[in-house]
Amino acid sequence: MPRLRGPIRRDKKRRVLRPGETIRADGRYQFKYMVDGKPKFFYSWKLEPTDPLPAGRKPCKSLREMEESLEVRSIICPNSDDDTMTVMELVQRYLSLKICVKPNIRINYNFVVNALMKDPFSKKPIGKVKMSDAKLWLVKMQSEGRGYSSIHSIRGVVRPAFQMAVDDEILWRNPFNFEMREVLINDSVKREAISRKDMRIFLDFLKNDRHFKKYYEAVFILFHTGLRISELCGLTVGDIDLEKRTINVDKQIQRDTKGKRYIISTKTKAGARLLPMTDDVYDCFTAILRRRKPPKVEPIIDGIGNFLFYDANGNPTVAMHWEHYFNHMVKKYNDIYKYQLPKITPHVCRHTYCTNMALSGVSAKTLQYLMGHSDISITLNVYTHIKFDDAQKEVELVQEQQQKEMENIRKELEQVGEIQPKIIPFRNKA
């Protein structure tokens, strides 16, 4: 049966019409296909099942529901014979096309493949996967203890893989074309900013601790620059300009599963930025450079050397090192003191910096630049973590500033006589 083709057409709702689908003059949707050289038609007042029925029209199935028949599906999907390949085979086919990707993305792909290999769902023929099957699979993974973020990563590969099968005309629709929040509970822990009090307590503890004081300056910098931890690890001596008091951020250092380190660009184009130093940050970098003891043979990573931070083996530190440092530092504090600190990570430092700058009145656009955000909506999301007490203090501060400004204006006007009572002379009628 020949498949009808033509240019891309859309309905009034801007939805793309499939080959064979048209809209009649009376508003009905029509699907035309050929069987043994003879045209056949489906008609409906609705394209999708969720479409409202026009007033005065009898209830009917949507056009897309009618197209689910085996006969029509074979026209929409001329390559449906390939739908016997398994989910794993489809994913591997999809990933084989992803050649030019960053190493960290490749690591995520390997994670997804390893997770799928252990799951019976990977052996299921793609043509047998219904949307309910896809949803139940995600629910099953969460019920078995897999975290929301991990499931999100897995679905982030499986969904486009199935879309590739749709584009290749193997499948007629993507069974993963739904929102995760429809079926799963987001139980991932949000990385909240910590209070100024907790930040001060943590920094004071590090500064005075005999073992962890060597990390004080780096942690202080994270709290007061908003650097991503991979950006901090990627800093070299040449990136620190003490004379101009600037920090050049243009790269990250990361490590793959085999331990190999590599340099990549910043997370986004906006991530490449020049940051100003406050006096305290200047003092911290001065101390770091003064104490810096590089290995006898400094490692060169992708042509770059002279890093600021090294591990015990003489290699540049990576994010995992600092995650461990923070865990040990917070644990030691909480083991000693009655007052307990919340979980603190390098990203919490970044989030705390962003929140504190927002509360200090820094504009969203300036903050977007400082944080290296590509989209200002990411920056604005910080304000969702500002609590009532913070908002109340902010309103009171603005009110106080406005009152001072009005008082100053009043005094200025009094000095020039602009608000003195106007004396109206009265003539003597006598």
- At 136-178, the pLDDT tens digits run 999 999 988 888 888 999 999 999 999 999 888 888 779 998 8
**Residue 321 near residue 310, CB atoms below 8 Å:** no
Residue 382: pLDDT band with limits 50, 70, 90: low
Distance of CA 295 to the CA centre of its chain: 36
Residues 220 and 87 in one domain: no
Show which of 182, 216, 234 is a domain's final residue.
182
**What is the rounded average pLDDT of the residues 251-270?**
80
pLDDT given at position 180? 87
For residue 15, the tally of other CB atoms under 10 A from its CB is 13
pLDDT digits (tens, 9 = 90+) for 1-46: 444 444 678 898 888 887 788 999 999 999 987 766 688 888 999 9
Is residue 400 pLDDT above 50, yes or no? Answer: yes
Residues 72 and 86 both lie in one domain? no
Q: Is the pLDDT of residue 373 over 90?
A: no
Do 228 and 133 share a structural domain? Answer: no
| 343 domain-assigned | yes
Confidence at 425, pLDDT banded by 50, 70, 90: low
My answer on whether 314 and 358 are in the same domain is: yes
| Domain count within the chain | 3
Measure Cα distances from 173 to 10, 12, 95, 176, 333 in Å. 18, 22, 20, 9, 54
**If 0-12 CB within 10 Å is exposed, 13-18 middle and 19+ buried, where does residue 5 land?**
exposed
Among 98-102, 254-258, 274-278, 409-413, the range with the most confident prediction by mean pLDDT is: 274-278
For residue 40, tell me if it sits in a domain: yes
Check if the beta carbon of residue 275 is closer than 8 Å to that of residue 224.
no
**Do 221 and 357 reside in the same domain of the chain?**
yes
Instruction: Please name which of 208, 219, 197 lies closest in space to residue 325, comparing C-alpha atoms.
Output: 219
Tell me if residue 407 falls in helix, strand or coil. helix
Residue 386 within a domain:
no
Percent of the chain exceeding pLDDT 90 equals: 47
Question: Are 346 and 226 a contacting pair, CB within 8 Å?
Answer: no
- 103 lies in some domain: yes
Q: Write down the pLDDT at residue 16.
A: 84
Look at residue 410 and tell me if it is in a domain.
no
Boundary of a domain, candidates 21, 47, 76: 76
Active-site positions read 228, 267, 347, 350, 373, 383
Element (H, E) at 30: strand 29-35
Mean pLDDT (the chain, rounded): 85
pLDDT, greater one: 405 or 299:
299
In a domain, 419, yes or no: no
Higher-confidence residue of 17 and 330: namely 330
* CATH code, 343: 1.10.443.10
Provide the CATH number for the domain around residue 117. Answer: 1.10.150.130
Residues 239 and 286 in one domain: yes
Q: Specify whether 342 is located in the same domain as 267.
A: yes
Q: Which pLDDT tens digit goes with each residue over 70-98?
A: 566 666 667 777 788 999 999 999 999 98
Is the same domain home to 277 and 152? Answer: no
Q: What tokens appear for 13 in the block?
A: 């709702």
pTM: 0.62
Domain holding 335, by residue range, is: 196-371
**Contact (Cβ atoms closer than 8 angstroms) between residue 148 and residue 112:** no
Predicted local distance difference test score (pLDDT) of residue 91: 94
Residues 116 and 176 in one domain: yes
Residue 397 lies in a domain: no
Considering the domain boundaries, does residue 238 fall inside one?
yes
One domain for residues 205 and 292: yes
Q: Are residues 150 and 224 in the same domain?
A: no
Is the confidence at residue 264, as pLDDT, over 90?
Answer: no
Non-local (6+) Cβ contacts of 21 within 8 A are 9, 29, 30, 31, 47, 63
* Model pLDDT, residue 254: 85
Q: Report the CATH number that the domain containing residue 41 is assigned in CATH.
A: 3.30.160.60
Looking at 343, 371, 399, the residue that finishes a domain is: 371
- 175, 301: one domain: no
